[in-house]
Structure 1
Amino acid sequence: MLDESNNWGRWGAGDERGALNLLTPETVLAAAGCVREGRVLGLSLPIRGATSSPAPTTVPHLRGRPLPQHFMSVDGGDYAAGTRAIGAGLKMADDALVVTPHGTTTHMDALCHMWSGDELYNGHPADRVRSYGAGRCGIDKAGPVVARGVLFDIPRLRGVPHLAATDRIGPADLEGCGVQVRPGDVAVVRTGWPLAWQDGPDAYWAGQPGLSADAGRWLAERDVCVVASDNAAIGGLNDRQLADEGLADDLHMILLWRHGIHLVEMLWLEELAESGRTDFLFVVAPLRIEGGTASPVTPVAVL
């Protein structure tokens, strides 16, 4: 499997950050030059309501995944017995949040999320991934990401609101966007697929468009540090919410496992697309979940 190009050993035998090592101080300073308007756009889906209400079902998610649960004590009907009195006349509401990031909300994948055989990215032993967390390549090893983001707006290229469920984005599509990619960039790929949720869950669950294996290799060859998209798996999915590609062409294997390129999935990119900007400052900081396979995130584009 590792006969293909890869980044194993490129930043040393102990490396657990992968292509994020490309974000040197010089690269970050250059990325800051993309800020020309000072306008800030959030790129995440909302986390909405508890599963005791219909609210979570109104946000795009994969079928069959545990939905995020947001409980509050303010009404006394969820996880606690009501508001807490703190001094004369003061009250306080508390929150509790339970999130399974993969497939349910905007999140960043760790390098320990997927692997083949007995080794994680860079040859770290996979037996260190246990129920109490991953001993190697957890999301806590990523740290904050501040980089130049570049937008590949494929629906705009094709003149459609969003791609079809069976569409796969190839290298020619990426080249057709006319975006210059530099080492250390975050490649942000818009499919428009969250808009399909407006036609109901069944439309969203009919499959998903995404990158082809060759498009993933094209980005890896250009030394991007992160690949982000508004779909649920970077690559495409069929109507069973599964990838059709074999192991050699699986996007998680190509990007996460072979090249140490972190993935950010289930973004909301509509306002960014409307801005017309193809380069911007991209900022995201995963939670420091020790040994976590992912973290919910709110990526930000600074225009």
Structure 2
Amino acid sequence: MTVNEATRVSTATWLDSALGSGVRVFDLGRPLYRGMPQSPNHPPYWHTLPRRHGDMVRADGGSAAADHISLGTHVGTHIDAFSHVSHNGLMLGGVSAADAQRGGTMSSLGAETIKPMFHRGVLLDVPRALGLEECEPGYEITPDDLSRTAESQGVEVRQGDVVLIRSGWGKNFDKGNEVYTGHDSGVPGVGEAGAYWLAGHGVHAAGADTIAFERLAPGAGHSLLPAHRVLLVETGIHIIETMDLEELASAGAHQFLFVLSPLKLVGATGSPVRPLAVVPEVTP
């Protein structure tokens, strides 16, 4: 048996074992549509049909429609590249932001450098652990909250995990831009201390159900984002924002296979994504 043949056999065996009892896939991405909630800092999502059925009809009666879309790379469910944030002029690893952005695109740390993710995922359902429906507007999720949540769920956050933090704020996505972005009310999330807690556990990436991942103070908007600095600039941990975590939380799925593949947008500071959580199907 050749190496390739052995690989095919072992892969088939692994797939049979992994999928034999079935799996359930949770879609953690938000739908993209015109007028969807988004940060005011980024170009909005736009979709149109420049070519419609009937504009050109083939001899056999066939026709086709085609689309044009445009959007900021930080609109909808998306991942931040390390080129997204700098501090005192420097990005991750001491890369000069001014040098990297010359020419109108990022020559370092762009979205094309983000590797596809196939990691153990952990959902920390913070409000449920605190006995709440959702965290209060502007509430800062503390390291103690994160530790308490992990303990109450019976999970351990390990090095290389992708940790998703549910604040419950995701329920507001369908209420429109003003409510979800929470400029006046504030938005719950981790702060600087929570970001260091995640970094201290050696996580590969972190995500949340909010517009900017971290806590936004009432009336402050995105004026200060210390968790972004800690994760993207200081410790090299990707951030995933605007996730839909409600179905996953309702199912009580706190550990899963996390799958994410960003678009290879060369020189971009982020990428739209459609992350998935895969768990074994539970049979009675």
Q: For residues 175 and 30 of structure 2, what CA distance do their matches in structure 1 show?
A: 17
Mapped pair 1:115 → 2:86: yes
Compute the displacement of 1:275 (Å). 1.1
Per-residue CA distance 1:24-50 (angstroms, 9 max, x = gap)? xxxxx9xx98997511111011111xx
Q: What is the number of residues matched between the two proteins?
A: 255
Compute the displacement of 1:224 (Å). 0.3
Q: For residues 26 and 271 of structure 2, what CA distance do their matches in structure 1 show?
A: 20
Q: Give the structure with higher Rg (CA).
A: 2
Mapped pair 1:38 → 2:23: yes
Compute the displacement of 1:143 (Å). 2.1
Identity %: 33
Mark the CA change 1:93 to 1:69 in structure 2 (over 3 Å): closer, same or farther.
Answer: same
Structural mapping, 1:123-202, within 5 Å? 123-126=94-97, 127-130=99-102, 132-177=104-149, 178=151, 179-202=155-178
SS at match of 2:84: coil
Compute the displacement of 1:203 (Å). 2.9
- Candidates 226, 236, 254, aligned match of 2:215: 236
Check the 8 A contact 2:84/2:269 in 1, yes or no: yes
Paired AA for residue 72 in structure 2: T
Mark the CA change 1:64 to 1:125 in structure 2 (over 3 Å): closer, same or farther.
Answer: closer
Mark the CA change 1:161 to 1:198 in structure 2 (over 3 Å): closer, same or farther.
Answer: farther
Mark the CA change 1:197 to 1:289 in structure 2 (over 3 Å): closer, same or farther.
Answer: closer
SS at match of 1:234: coil
Unaligned runs of 5+ in 1: 1-28, 49-55, 77-81
SS at match of 1:287: coil
How high is the TM-score relative to the length of structure 2?
0.82
Compute the displacement of 1:86 (Å). 4.1
Q: For residues 19 and 202 of structure 2, what CA distance do their matches in structure 1 show?
A: 19
Q: For residues 163 and 230 of structure 1, what CA distance do their matches in structure 2 show?
A: 12
How high is the TM-score relative to the length of structure 1?
0.77
Check the 8 A contact 1:34/1:281 in 2, yes or no: no
Compute the displacement of 1:159 (Å). 2.6
Q: For residues 109 and 202 of structure 1, what CA distance do their matches in structure 2 show?
A: 23
Mark the CA change 1:101 to 1:207 in structure 2 (over 3 Å): closer, same or farther.
Answer: farther
RMSD over aligned Cα atoms? 2.4
Unaligned runs of 5+ in 2: 1-13, 280-284
SS at match of 1:195: helix
Check the 8 A contact 2:52/2:64 in 1, yes or no: no
Per-residue CA distance 1:173-214 (angstroms, 9 max, x = gap)? 111112301111001011121212455543332221110211
Paired AA for residue 295 in structure 1: S
